[in-house]
């Protein structure tokens, strides 16, 4: 009998391998393949439906694919005025133009729009990026939001139930009215999807305009005392614990860097260096006295308990 059962294919999909090497996201890797920029063992491929192993020789745009580094994650305080893109057709400054020297090639986990600020996760691993972006992770993205006007708590019921804006459905949001400050009100809003300008569009749909938006957490990761333009790398133990990756126990530590000369990008009064980010948001709105005392609870009642990410 000459027919034999075919052994199961081993290895990983090539787009996943390219993403793990930090060359591109998995989706962008598939585009590179479709555009004829990828070879395997000297042969040009045109489909991502291929498994490869460490024995295969892979090139992307003529460059040999390096062995993937261990997954790494950084916390970055994105200032306003920067585009979350590798390049901008309008010539505007990007997040990646303003990272500290010595940073490896990284990708952002999701985006913050030009006029938004706060916590942006960065990673060298395309597959990990995709994993952290998926709504199925169930991770809350929490924001401090300032709106113009004098809203009442009941004004936000449509957002808590879920709202459709211009034909696009937004999932229910957690909305807390923290306090009124002159002509503006401060809110804490938590969402799980993070669609394009979701909070701004949803608030506009119920009659309020956002004039400041600061992301303070993304899943278990907190902005803490980071200042605009600063970057912290999380210890591998933290990355493994929070993302379910295997590894040995280590104590979580971080390294902090800031690109010299980067402007804060915050509005209003200059924040004090000793204040945490959410307090500095209040300081930027002219409430230094309030932020020096007790701060409003920025966590919604239904928020999961925080997990420590660094010390």
Reading the block at residue 32, the tokens are 């590179």
Residue 128 has pLDDT above 50, yes or no: yes
> Does one domain contain both 58 and 136?
no
Cα separation, 48 vs 29, in Å, equals: 8
Residue 155: give the domain boundaries.
73-292
Give the burial string for 42-64 (b: 16+ CB within 10 Å, else e): eeebeebebebeeeeebebeeee
How much is the pTM?
A: 0.70
Q: Which of 12, 56, 93, 113 is catalytic?
A: 113
> Does one domain contain both 55 and 200?
no
Q: How many independent structural domains does the chain possess?
A: 2
Q: How confident is the model at residue 98 (pLDDT cuts 50, 70, 90)?
A: very high
pLDDT at 1: 44
> Does one domain contain both 52 and 158?
no
> Does one domain contain both 52 and 113?
no
- The answer to whether position 303 is within a domain reads no
- Higher-pLDDT residue of 15, 207: 207
Q: Nearest 5°: phi and psi at 218? A: -140, 105
113 classed as catalytic: yes
Q: Nearest 5°: phi and psi at 257? A: -140, 155
pLDDT at 105: 85
Cβ atoms of 208 and 155 closer than 8 Å: yes
Cα separation, 288 vs 286, in Å, equals: 6
Q: How confident is the model at residue 297 (pLDDT cuts 50, 70, 90)?
A: very low
Reading the block at residue 246, the tokens are 């295997």
- Residues 181-186, mean pLDDT to the nearest whole number: 97
- The answer to whether position 118 is within a domain reads yes
């Amino acid at each position: 009998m000459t027919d034999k059962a075919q052994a199961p294919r081993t290895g990983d999909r090539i787009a996943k391998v390219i993403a793990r090497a930090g060359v591109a996201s998995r989706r962008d890797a598939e585009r590179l393949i479709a555009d004829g920029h990828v070879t395997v063992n000297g042969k040009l491929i045109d489909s991502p439906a291929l498994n490869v192993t460490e024995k295969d020789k892979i090139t992307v745009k003529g460059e040999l694919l390096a062995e993937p580094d261990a997954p790494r994650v950084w916390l970055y305080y994105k200032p306003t005025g920067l585009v979350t893109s590798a390049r901008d057709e309008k010539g505007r400054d990007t997040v990646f133009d303003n990272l500290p020297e010595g940073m490896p090639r990284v990708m952002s986990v999701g985006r913050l729009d030009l006029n938004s600020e706060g916590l942006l996760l960065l990673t060298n691993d395309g597959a990990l990026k995709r994993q952290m972006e998926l709504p199925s992770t169930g991770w809350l993205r929490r924001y401090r939001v300032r709106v113009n006007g004098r809203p009442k708590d009941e004004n936000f019921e449509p957002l808590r139930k879920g709202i459709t804006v211009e034909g696009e459905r937004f999932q229910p949001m957690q909305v807390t009215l923290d306090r009124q400050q002159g002509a503006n009100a401060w809110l804490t809003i938590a969402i799980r999807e993070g669609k394009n300008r979701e909070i701004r569009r949803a608030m506009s749909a119920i009659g309020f305009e956002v004039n400041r938006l600061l992301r303070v957490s993304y899943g278990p990761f907190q902005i803490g005392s980071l200042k605009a333009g600063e970057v912290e790398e999380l210890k591998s133990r933290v990355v493994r614990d929070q993302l379910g990756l295997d590894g040995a126990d280590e104590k979580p530590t971080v390294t902090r860097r800031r690109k010299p000369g980067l402007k804060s990008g915050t509005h209003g009064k200059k924040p004090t260096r000793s204040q945490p980010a959410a307090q500095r948001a209040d300081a930027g709105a002219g409430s230094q006295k309030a932020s020096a005392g007790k701060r409003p609870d920025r966590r919604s009642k239904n928020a999961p308990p925080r997990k420590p990410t660094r010390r």
